[in-house]
């Protein structure tokens, strides 16, 4: 967390609220966020105008005039809150700071003021996220360096046959294969649990053991789970767990609650060290 739906929601917030605005002032309160940045300071952005916001996997890229781009990875606990001159605020990512509370928060590490009175607050309670400022022509090269697989949803997203081929090469549990960003870009823990439940697949099934009909179900379920998350503007997190809205998530963080499909109580196991939620009725593992 934040996962693909949260980062996509942030991208849309930037696109709606900041494109066309010029940066007037920058207050970077935690310089180590730029620890891997090709340009060591954000000062070159002052006076530049926001041109576009795009996303690759869980990385947000904001393009500016002056042929500059800012890459942002929110890691485990990043949040972006954009406050406009009319008093509106749009927030996505980690639930800390409280989106309805005062800003800047003690975990707010970057404040950017824009023309027209808009302000963007970047917060990170864990301080694992990073910023990279670089010339726009270098962005694609930088993104290629992560070795991301195809996108999990949206334009250019992975096709069914490509997904099948990538899973066929891996004997590890299917959950771990789907979390591998080199297999599929953007999937995280919440949405993998939801996709596997939707596809009626046990998360410990070897990735290379799936049959054609199971691959059909999984391919459709991946898109379904991420699209549901995007529709909600990302998962709502309460006490470090995803909180269901309109019946989603259906199993993640809902241990002991009835499965919405068969009413069997949801259980929690660990797969590769990751907390994993499933329905023992819908997601049976052969031999158990």
Strands laid side by side in the 50-56 sheet: 50-56, 59-64, 68-73, 130-135
Distance CA 75, CA 87 (A): 28
Residue 68: both structure tokens together: 């500059």
- Answer whether residue 133 is part of any domain: yes
In a domain, 112, yes or no: yes
* Confidence at residue 225, expressed as pLDDT on a 0 to 100 scale: 94
Using CA atoms, how far apart are residues 281 and 288, in angstroms rounded to an integer? 12
Q: What positions carry a catalytic annotation?
A: 2-3, 58, 274
What pLDDT was estimated at residue 9? 94
Number of domains within the chain: 2
Q: How many CB atoms lie within 10 A of CB 187?
A: 26
pLDDT band at 1 (very low <50, low <70, confident <90, very high): low
Per-residue pLDDT band at 288 (split at 50, 70, 90): low
Give the number of other Cβ atoms within 10 Å of residue 206's Cβ: 13
Confidence of residue 287 (pLDDT cuts 50, 70, 90): low
Q: How confident is the model at residue 156 (pLDDT cuts 50, 70, 90)?
A: confident
pLDDT band at 254 (very low <50, low <70, confident <90, very high): very high
Residue 222 lies in a domain: yes
Same domain for 27 and 124, yes or no, is yes
Give tens-digit pLDDT for 34-49: 999 999 999 999 999 9
Domain that holds residue 109: 4-144
pLDDT, one tens digit per residue, over 165-215 is: 999 999 999 999 999 999 999 899 999 999 999 999 999 999 999 999 999
Q: Is residue 251 predicted with pLDDT exceeding 60?
A: yes
pTM reported for the whole predicted model: 0.92
Distance CA 41, CA 214 (A): 49
Residue 241 confidence (pLDDT) above 70: no
Are 16 and 127 within one domain?
yes
| pLDDT over 70 (residue 6) | yes
Query: What CATH number did the domain enclosing 228 receive?
Result: 1.10.8.50
Q: Domain boundary at 96, 115, 144, which?
A: 144
Assess contact for 232 and 4: CB atoms under 8 A.
no
User: What does the pLDDT average to over 152-159?
Assistant: 88
Cα 187 to Cα 222: distance, rounded to the nearest angstrom: 8
3-state secondary structure the chain: CCCHHHHHHHHHHHHHHCCCCEEEEEEECCHHHHCCCCECCCHHHCCCEEEEEEEECCEEEEEECCCEEEEEECCCCEEEEEECCCCCEEEEECCCCCCCCCCCCCCEEEEEEEHHHCEEEEEECCCCCEEEEEEHHHHHHHHHCCCCCCECCCCCECCHHHHHHHHHCCCCEHHHHHHCCCCCECCCHHHHHHHHHHCCCCCCCEHHHCCHHHHHHHHHHHHHHHHHHHHCCCCEEECCEEECECCECCCCCCCCCECCCCCCECEEEEECCEEEEECCCCCCCCCC
Angstrom distance (rounded) from CA 181 to CA 149: 6
pLDDT band at residue 130 under the 50/70/90 scheme? very high
Same structural domain, 140 and 166: no
Handedness of CA 221, 163, 253, 259 (dihedral sign): positive
**31 and 134 both lie in a single domain:** yes
Res 284 pLDDT > 60: yes
More confident residue, 29 or 248: 29
The pLDDT of residue 247: 76
| pLDDT, tens digit (0-9, with 9 covering 90-100), for 52-89 | 999 999 999 999 999 999 999 999 899 999 999 989 99
Backbone torsions φ then ψ of 223, nearest 5 degrees = -60, -45
245 pLDDT tier (thresholds 50, 70, 90): low
Give yes or no: residues 166 and 271 share one domain. yes
* 10 lies in the same domain as 140: yes
pLDDT band of residue 239 (cuts 50, 70, 90) is low
Span 30-37, mean pLDDT? 95
88, 12 Cβ separation under 8 angstroms: no
């Amino acid at each position: 967390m934040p996962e693909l739906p949260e980062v996509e929601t942030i991208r849309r917030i930037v696109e709606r609220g900041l494109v066309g605005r010029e940066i007037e002032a920058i207050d970077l309160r935690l310089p180590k966020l730029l620890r891997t940045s090709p340009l060591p300071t954000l000062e070159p952005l002052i006076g530049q105008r926001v041109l576009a916001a795009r996303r690759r996997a869980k990385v947000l890229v904001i393009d500016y005039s002056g042929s500059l781009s800012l890459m942002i990875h929110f890691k485990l606990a990043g949040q972006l809150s954009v406050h406009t001159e009319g008093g509106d605020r749009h927030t996505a990512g980690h639930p800390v700071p409280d989106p309805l509370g005062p800003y800047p928060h003690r975990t707010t590490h970057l404040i950017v003021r824009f023309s027209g009175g808009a302000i963007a607050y970047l917060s990170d309670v864990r301080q694992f996220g990073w910023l990279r400022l670089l010339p726009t022509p270098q962005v694609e090269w930088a993104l290629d360096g992560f070795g991301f697989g195809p996108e999990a949803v949206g334009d250019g997203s992975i096709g069914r046959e490509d997904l099948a081929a990538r899973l066929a090469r891996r004997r590890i549990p299917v959950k771990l294969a789907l979390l591998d960003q080199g297999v599929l870009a953007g999937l995280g823990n919440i949405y993998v649990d939801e996709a596997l439940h939707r596809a009626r697949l046990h998360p410990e099934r070897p990735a290379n053991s799936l049959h054609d009909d199971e691959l059909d179900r999984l391919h459709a379920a991946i898109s379904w789970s991420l699209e549901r998350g995007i529709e909600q503007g990302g998962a709502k997190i309460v006490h470090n767990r995803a909180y269901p809205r309109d019946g989603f998530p259906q199993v993640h963080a809902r241990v002991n609650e009835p499965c919405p499909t068969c009413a069997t109580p949801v259980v929690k196991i660990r797969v590769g060290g990751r907390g994993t939620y499933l329905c023992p009725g819908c997601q049976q593992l052969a031999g158990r």
